[in-house]
């Protein structure tokens, strides 16, 4: 039974989602403010966190930032409808996916299951991937570059592993979105580019020699 932590100050909304997710086979924990959400996430270590952006005192961005200092639990953020800047900021700060609020519970469940299914399938892979100074262990979902461990979010790790499995070959954005993010690529979706930018920063790949951009197509990990 997968576990999910809902962090949202709208108690009526979280109660409704909790009932729906429970019926779908999830074990649900609730938190109605960011500070409580951080404490529960670190103590309970749920499989995934659903985090609302608009909360008083400690908003979703501050909560995510605090959480990312010590945890790589997948996070799906609920953003205000039409607020693209919220989605961009969330992705830059390490969110794995986002959904506009109010959301369709059925779509939320589909997104959560896609993230969990992707993480589980990659964790079960026994293959160690090595490409130059980059080494990836799918079993532990850990990666090192030049013998230094990389602190990656779930989506950043997924992208890096997908590129490593096709090292030396161009991987188009459609494939990256489906295999690494678990969703089809849509028009004007910048998720891949935002995650890739953060991944390059963590790799110190400022000259883009390790991960090359193939304009109009996708990305390629150098062998």
In sequence order, the 6+-apart residues with CB closer than 8 A to the CB of 181 are 96, 97, 118, 155, 158, 159, 191, 192, 195
> Is there a contact between 175 and 161 (Cβ–Cβ < 8 Å)?
no
For residues 146 and 96, membership in a common domain is answered with no
DSSP letters for 182-201: SS---TT--HHHHHHHHHHH
**Can you give the CATH number for the domain in which 9 is found?**
3.40.50.2300
For residues 80 and 142, membership in a common domain is answered with no
Q: Distance between CA 169 and CA 3 in Å, rounded?
A: 36
DSSP letters for 150-175: ----HHHHHHHHHHHHTTTSEEEHHH
What pLDDT score was predicted for residue 88?
82
For residues 61 and 171, membership in a common domain is answered with no
For residues 89 and 137, membership in a common domain is answered with no
Supply the range of the domain harboring residue 175: 125-221
**Can you give the CATH number for the domain in which 178 is found?**
1.10.10.10
What pLDDT score was predicted for residue 122?
56
Q: Which residue has the tokens 């992705």?
A: 91
What pLDDT score was predicted for residue 190?
86
For residues 11 and 60, membership in a common domain is answered with yes
Residue-by-residue pLDDT tens, the chain, 223 positions: 899 999 999 999 999 999 999 999 999 999 999 999 999 999 999 999 999 999 988 999 999 999 988 888 899 999 876 677 887 888 888 888 889 888 899 999 999 998 888 776 655 555 678 888 999 988 778 899 998 999 998 889 989 999 998 889 999 999 998 888 888 888 888 889 999 999 999 999 888 889 999 998 999 998 7
For residues 112 and 52, membership in a common domain is answered with yes
What pLDDT score was predicted for residue 132?
86
Nearest to 7 by CA among 53, 62, 42, 43: 53
Q: Whole-model pTM?
A: 0.66
For residues 11 and 91, membership in a common domain is answered with yes
> Is there a contact between 65 and 77 (Cβ–Cβ < 8 Å)?
no
For residues 30 and 102, membership in a common domain is answered with yes
For residues 115 and 148, membership in a common domain is answered with no
For residues 90 and 168, membership in a common domain is answered with no
> Is there a contact between 221 and 169 (Cβ–Cβ < 8 Å)?
no
């Amino acid at each position: 039974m997968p576990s999910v932590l809902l962090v949202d100050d709208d108690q009526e909304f979280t109660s409704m989602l909790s009932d729906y997710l429970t019926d779908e086979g999830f074990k649900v924990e609730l938190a109605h403010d960011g500070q409580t959400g951080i404490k529960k996430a670190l103590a309970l270590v749920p499989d995934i966190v659903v985090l609302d952006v608009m909360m008083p005192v400690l908003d979703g961005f501050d909560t995510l930032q605090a959480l990312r200092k010590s945890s790589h639990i997948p996070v799906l953020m609920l953003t205000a409808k039409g607020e693209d800047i919220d989605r961009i900021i969330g992705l830059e700060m390490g969110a794995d996916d986002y959904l506009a609020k109010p959301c369709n519970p059925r779509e939320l469940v589909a997104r959560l299951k896609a993230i969990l299914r992707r993480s589980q399938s990659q964790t079960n892979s026994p293959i160690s991937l090595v490409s130059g100074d980059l080494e990836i262990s799918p079993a532990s979902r850990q990666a090192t570059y030049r013998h230094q461990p990389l602190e990656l979010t779930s989506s950043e790790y997924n992208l890096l592993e997908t590129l490593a499995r096709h090292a030396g070959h161009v991987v188009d954005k459609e494939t990256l979105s489906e295999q690494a993010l678990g969703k089809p690529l849509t028009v004007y979706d910048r998720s891949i580019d935002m995650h890739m930018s953060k991944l390059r920063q963590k790799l110190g790949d400022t000259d883009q020699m390790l991960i090359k951009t193939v304009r109009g197509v996708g990305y390629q990990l150098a062998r």
